[in-house]
A and B are shown apart, each in its own frame.
Chain A
Amino acid sequence: MAPAKKRNVSSGKATERKAKTAKTDINCIVERVLESRKHANDVFDILEFLQSEKEKDVVSAVGACSKLFCTLLERKELFIGKLPGEEEALSRGFSAEEKYRIFMRHRYNSCVEMLLEHLSHELHDIKESALCCLIKFAAAEGQNPLEDLDWSEHYSFPREMIQAVVDKLLSKSTNNSLLISRFQEFLEMEDLRYYVMSSIRDNVAKVMEKNKGAVEPIYQNNAFTLISSISMPSQESELTNFLVKQEAKHEDWKAANLNEHKRAFERMWLGFLKYKLPNSMYKKVLVILHDSILPYMSKPTLMIDFLTAAYEVGGAISLLALNGLFVLIHQHNLDYPDFYKKLYNLLEPSVFHVKYRARFFHLANLFLSSSHLPVYLVSAFAKRLARLALTAPPTALLIVLPFIYNLIRRHPSCRVLIHKPSSEGEPLEDPYLMDEEDPAQCRALESSLWEIKALQKHYHPDVAKAAMLINTPLSEQEEDISEVLEITAHEMMERDLKQSQIKSIPLEFETATQLLKGGGNVLGQHFCLV
């Protein structure tokens, strides 16, 4: 048997056959190859198809490959152990049987290589079928390991192949999110997930080191998509779905241990977060941090550095970091110096306009619900919120007014903010210092909430009514702000629209004559029709 010679012949044949490409042909070839070793050289035809230009051919070839090599793996007809080079195999004295195996192993390796190439193909269908095929190979290889080791001491898992797949998935140039979402299905399998996590870590470390920590949006996006699609089990007993079953010592296997999973998960995330992230990615990470990362880490406190750094950034990122910090403070005894001072400084006009408003106020409510806070701090918060309320949209006002009232209710000594009878009659300038960063120095307690008084003239009736509450002593019962946290302008509008079952609708009595006239003629002064 001279494989080199034969290959030439067969490749010639393949070019001839190219004219009549049909799926059945490939299947026939596969069957022939499997039938007898005589037709072993037809493998080249299949590999030829695998490199074809046509999508259909490639997909069917991928299917054929998976069928062929999986069966061969099962039959153990691939060479096991350290693979000698093809030339070497010819020269050294191997039996015919062994030569056949070495030959097939080589074909297998080249097939895997091609499939990996295909993972960065342009067409999604090809990518997907290649991915599926590779996973099948991985499963088959796991069952029938190709390495010559003492399997009673080692765990068989095709780590190299998984590493290669992950490397391909985390491409630097193309957005692989579709493929990754397909890959997510396989991540249900515990051992695969475990090894994928460690490969991601290696890959990220490798790539980012090479990059010297600079931002790589596409790569990082791919990595984030892959990482965030990993869903961790919460109990050890849930670890049941494995790609490769280990016969011996299953219990001691790392991939079967939840703590090991957690450790791998933690290492992966920390590895990912170690490097500088683009702003939008930062936000995305912070959004999912508290409920899909922190609970699955073996040592959540390792996140402290990341979170404090995020909290220092300011703006929306700080707001988002609050949630993770809260979990750490609440459940892991994190002591954060000057936490309230920083929280106080987070209060800016933009707080009322950002998307994460509801989340922020929910947390702020939690932080300020402690009854052990000093009065100066609570009053500073109340006064600052009131001042900011002067620029807030009505949806935010419906949150912030009850919020301030709740603060005053929880800390009755703050009542002086809305009721200061002793110095009645002597008008004074607002002593509150808006620019002071330290809540202890801002003199909020000496001030009054005139801002709320101003809001009593707000155009929206609900807001005006809410602001009216400070005219009389507040009721004992705290208001529940959770209902209004998520309210949108349109929902407020709907409320007004639904209420409209009033019998008589008041009408304007001044007759309208022209479009731009009326109402003080503001429009007419600045605009004209043409």
Chain B
Amino acid sequence: MGKAPKKKSVSDKVRKTKTSTVIKNNPFEVKINRKKFDILGRKTKHDVGLPGVSRSKAINKRKETLLKEYKQKNKSNKFIDRRFGEYDTKMAPEDKILQRFAMERQHGHDKKDVYNLNEEEELTHYGQSLAEMEKFNDIAHSDDESEDKGLLSAELTASHFGGGGGLLRKKTSGDQQQDEDGSQRAKSRQELIEELIHKSKQEKRERQVQKEEAQELTEKLDQEWKNIQALMVKKMPKAECAEVQPDKPKLDAYDMMVRELGFEMKAQPSEKMKTPEELAKEEREKLQKLEADRLRRMMGEEGEQSAQSQIHMSADDLNDGFILDKHDKMTLSYQDGKWNIEEESEEDKDEDENEEESGDEQESDAEEEDAEEEEDGEEDREEEEGSSEEEEEEEEEEDGHSDLDSEQESENEEDEEAGAKPKKSLTKEELKAQQEAAKAELPYTFAVPESYSDLKVLLHGHTPDNQRLIVARTQKSNHPSLAVGNKLKLQKLFEFLLEYVGELATRSPPELITIDKLIPELYALCQMFPAAACQVMQRIFGDAGHSVEEVLEVKGHAAFPTLDMLVYLKVTSLLFPTSDFRHPVTTPALLYISQTLTKCPVRSLQDLTAGLFLCCVAVEYISFSKRFLPELINFLAGTLHLAVRDKASLGYTVVPPFRPSGKQSDLLVLSASESCKTWSKKNLPLSSTQHLELKLDLDRDEHRLTCLSTCLDLVKRCCLLYQDLPSFTHIFQPIRTLLSKHLSTQTLPQLLQELHSEILEILSRAPVTHSPLVFEKKKPIPLKLLTPKIVEVLDYGKKRGSSREEREKERLKHKYKKEFKGALREIRKDSRFLAREKLNEVMNRDAERKRKVKELLGSLGTQEGEWKALKRRKKK
């Protein structure tokens, strides 16, 4: 590096100006910078320098500038050239002269010729007389024509080589032109060039003429062609084209074939026909995946994270759906035994069913194939409908897998389904004639109701089954893929349907069968529009919670929710997963249940029934996740407390809304013990949550016993669910005391006695001892590892790890430093130069003086000599 950059400013100039080869080759002039290492890939600029030359250049330059300045120092007067444009380097000398002349003339004119009328004034433009300029004609714009020439030649070349697109042609022609120019330059003979230019210009002109003619001809032909176009046969244009543009090569049959092959649709690999076993396997895998998902969400935070990580696509992802998921496996092992058993049983069921179905499902398989092919993007209305129905059928099958109890039901539905579709009704003969007759009245397509009242009108007066059919058909005939607005409409439909369900529940008597029938439709709609369904549900619970809160503020207690809210709670558990750690719908729903169970005092048997309904729903909500719901236990204990006859000495505390004693605290105490004997377990009707008409004591007692049995069963379920909680015994302490001390078994029917003893057994079985709490063990923080951190460097010599701005800043800093050093160096050199000059001056002056003194002394000496000689001569 050494000196090389130092001299850059000067030496660069030196290099640019041609140093004579003599100097370059002179080994005494050349200085070679020795390199210590040879570095691959590094370009060195300054390995050879000519110090002598550059030094002399620098000195010369200083002499021209610095020295002059130095000489001018302390000189007060100065010569300044004030002529116009004297120091303007941009102006051409001729322009300068012209300008000066014009100014001169103007000056003279202004001063002297104000009154001079006769003087002939010549009008000028840029100092030239306009009269003279008029004599010249326009010069031909040679520059413009060169482009035309290029075009023409392009056409020629195209005709010669006959290939490539238009653009390509142009390019090649341009290149050619340049090549020509290059060759001309290479010859570098004035005459030759001129000759060539002349020639090409002539050629060009000729070509232009030719082209214009051709153009005229083509235009003419075009017009003629238009006139007769209608009369011509299809084949004609090709021939025409060939005639008009003979340059263009005829389309080859081969080319055409190639093109055609290129555009031809490639045969898509079709999906393999699946065997029933494979289908079942797929189904099972899907279910397993969903189950694993549910478990992950149940675990809360970690679940969310893993769900996110699933969304993330790594660069190595083959996009084949394979995910290495550790959580899955962990949860599987966590659940030990139980999970596996479930899975197996499901498998078995699947297989069984597939064997059953394999016989008659041949054609449906084929249809499924169709459906899958349709997914490739063709949208045919009918086929789409077919496929959606197919899907639904699949769903129903799936349902059959999940619980066999409802298989009967689903088959029935399938039948109905078949009735709804004329195509199918032909293939399936087992349709009942009367059903057909009934459904023949229903139209097959329905418009989506725009408002809630529209929906009511639409469904009014139909049987529950038909109502369901109507909704199903509405949904199908307005599938979102069929028209743009359908999505919005169906989202509204869900809202209306829910409202309708609520209204059905509030009617007296409630039309619960209709609600029951509408459930699958609600489910289907919810699956289609989860976000909309979520919003509607959230609004319902938000409003309900708010109204409870308001009533609480005014009265201090609230009434039990009406049947519509109870139904909504149940519907929520059907539509959304209740086991999630946090779910936008089910968490508020659970809060609502808790709110009602804690704030609504039980005042009558129907209140109690509603409360038990809520408890049932709550148990369903938590049955999978086994989450702890204190309000549930409180309510059940309170309910049992209601059945205690003697409330004098309690060994437990009752939690609000129940009271240890009071008006309604004997609600479940039997009025006559004989009623136990006649009682048999019956299911409570849902309507009994709203109003009960029990006139007789016996009826009332039976209802009480039913409530009690429900309560005990729920307690049993809760016991089983919460067995693993550390403070299980303390949670169930009140219930245990209640059952063992206050509710005597003798007076209860057999069924209740059994439940009673079962619960007590579970309670006594629970472990009482726990290991004391300790913090979770922290993962030990690993020691710092001392192995060197190896960073792979791919771009040598560049600074890494900084942003672009930082790099730029760094660069500028470096540059500034370099420049600063360079400037310092120059200044030093300048001062050295000046000092040398000064010394020279002094030396010169001294030498001059010496010389003069010598001269004087010499002359004096000769004078003396002469005088002495004269004297001597006199003496003589």
**Chain A residues packing against B (C-beta within 8 Å):** 348-350, 353-355, 387, 390-394, 417-421, 423-430, 448-451, 453-455, 457-461, 464-465, 470-473, 488-490, 492-494, 496-497, 499-500, 502, 504-520, 522-523, 525-530
Consensus secondary structure, chain B interface: helix
Contact between chains at A513 and B406 (CB < 8 Å): yes
Consensus secondary structure, chain A interface: loop
Q: With A418-B773, A489-B591 given, can you name 9 additional A-B contacts, CB distance below 8 Å?
A: A390-B731, A394-B591, A454-B731, A458-B627, A497-B541, A500-B535, A502-B584, A508-B577, A520-B620
Using known A-B contacts A453-B726, A488-B549, A518-B574, determine if residue A494 contacts B542 with beta carbons closer than 8 Å.
yes
Q: Contacting B775 at CB < 8 Å: which of A473, A506, A517?
A: A473
A-B pairs, top 8 by smallest CB distance, nearest first, are A519-B620, A500-B584, A512-B574, A420-B772, A427-B769, A528-B683, A459-B627, A450-B726
Contact between chains at A527 and B613 (CB < 8 Å): yes
Using known A-B contacts A429-B769, A489-B549, A527-B683, determine if residue A461 contacts B587 with beta carbons closer than 8 Å.
yes
Q: Is B287 an interface residue (CB 8 A)?
A: yes
Surface stretch bound by A, among B91-99, B153-161, B394-402, B754-762: B394-402
> What are 13 sample pairs from A and B whose C-beta atoms fall under 8 A apart?
A428-B770, A459-B629, A464-B581, A489-B594, A496-B588, A500-B535, A505-B584, A505-B585, A506-B580, A511-B399, A514-B516, A527-B613, A530-B512
Surface stretch bound by A, among B1-9, B204-212, B710-718: B710-718
Contact between chains at A505 and B520 (CB < 8 Å): no
Contact between chains at A526 and B713 (CB < 8 Å): yes
For window 427-461 of B, CB contacts with A under 8 Å fall at none
Contact between chains at B585 and A519 (CB < 8 Å): no
Contact between chains at B730 and A390 (CB < 8 Å): yes
Contact between chains at A450 and B613 (CB < 8 Å): no
Surface stretch bound by A, among B76-84, B316-324, B565-573: B565-573
Contact between chains at B571 and A453 (CB < 8 Å): no
Contact between chains at B727 and A453 (CB < 8 Å): yes
Write the nearest CB–CB distance from A234 to chain B, whole angstroms.
31
Contact between chains at A420 and B577 (CB < 8 Å): no
Q: Contacting A387 at CB < 8 Å: which of B513, B656, B730?
A: B730
Using known A-B contacts A496-B582, A522-B620, A528-B686, determine if residue A511 contacts B396 with beta carbons closer than 8 Å.
yes
User: Roughly how many angstroms separate A502 CA and B304 CA in the complex, as a whole number?
Assistant: 11
Using known A-B contacts A505-B585, A511-B395, A530-B512, determine if residue A518 contacts B620 with beta carbons closer than 8 Å.
yes
Nearest CB in chain B to that of A491: its residue = B549
Task: Report B-chain residues with C-beta under 8 Å of the C-beta of A419.
Answer: 773-775
Task: Report B-chain residues with C-beta under 8 Å of the C-beta of A518.
Answer: 573-574, 620
User: Roughly how many angstroms separate A355 CA and B413 CA in the complex, as a whole number?
Assistant: 52
User: Roughly how many angstroms separate A270 CA and B413 CA in the complex, as a whole number?
Assistant: 78
Contact between chains at A355 and B573 (CB < 8 Å): no
Q: Is B698 an interface residue (CB 8 A)?
A: no
Task: Report B-chain residues with C-beta under 8 Å of the C-beta of A417.
Answer: 773
Nearest CB in chain B to that of A519: its residue = B620
Q: Contacting A430 at CB < 8 Å: which of B402, B567, B576, B730?
A: B730
Task: Map CB proximity to A onto B507-523 as digits: 1 under 8 Å, 0 otherwise.
Answer: 00000110110011011
Task: Report A-chain residues with C-beta under 8 Å of the C-beta of B413.
Answer: 513
User: Roughly how many angstroms separate A423 CA and B770 CA in the complex, as a whole number?
Assistant: 11
Contact between chains at B409 and A513 (CB < 8 Å): yes
Using known A-B contacts A454-B726, A500-B584, A508-B574, determine if residue A427 contacts B399 with beta carbons closer than 8 Å.
no
Using known A-B contacts A393-B594, A506-B297, determine if residue A421 contacts B628 with beta carbons closer than 8 Å.
no
Using known A-B contacts A505-B584, A511-B520, determine if residue A529 contacts B545 with beta carbons closer than 8 Å.
no
User: Roughly how many angstroms separate A329 CA and B585 CA in the complex, as a whole number?
Assistant: 48
For window 748-779 of B, CB contacts with A under 8 Å fall at 767-776, 778
Contact between chains at A520 and B773 (CB < 8 Å): no
Using known A-B contacts A454-B725, A460-B590, determine if residue A507 contacts B545 with beta carbons closer than 8 Å.
no
User: Roughly how many angstroms separate A424 CA and B616 CA in the complex, as a whole number?
Assistant: 39
Q: Contacting A530 at CB < 8 Å: which of B577, B616, B685?
A: B685
Write the nearest CB–CB distance from B557 to chain A, whole angstroms.
11
Task: Report A-chain residues with C-beta under 8 Å of the C-beta of B578.
Answer: 519
Contact between chains at B513 and A496 (CB < 8 Å): no
For window 531-565 of B, CB contacts with A under 8 Å fall at 531, 533-535, 538, 541-542, 545-546, 548-549, 556
Contact between chains at B616 and A522 (CB < 8 Å): yes
Task: Report B-chain residues with C-beta under 8 Å of the C-beta of A464.
Answer: 300, 581, 627
Q: Contacting A515 at CB < 8 Å: which of B406, B409, B512?
A: B512
Task: Report A-chain residues with C-beta under 8 Å of the C-beta of B542.
Answer: 493-494, 497
Task: Report B-chain residues with C-beta under 8 Å of the C-beta of A504.
Answer: 530
Q: Which of A390, A420, A458, A528 has the most CB of B within 10 A?
A: A390
Contact between chains at B772 and A348 (CB < 8 Å): no
Using known A-B contacts A512-B522, A520-B623, determine if residue A527 contacts B684 with beta carbons closer than 8 Å.
yes
Write the nearest CB–CB distance from B351 to chain A, whole angstroms.
20
Surface stretch bound by A, among B630-638, B819-827, B828-836: B630-638
Q: Is B673 an interface residue (CB 8 A)?
A: no
Contact between chains at B549 and A511 (CB < 8 Å): no
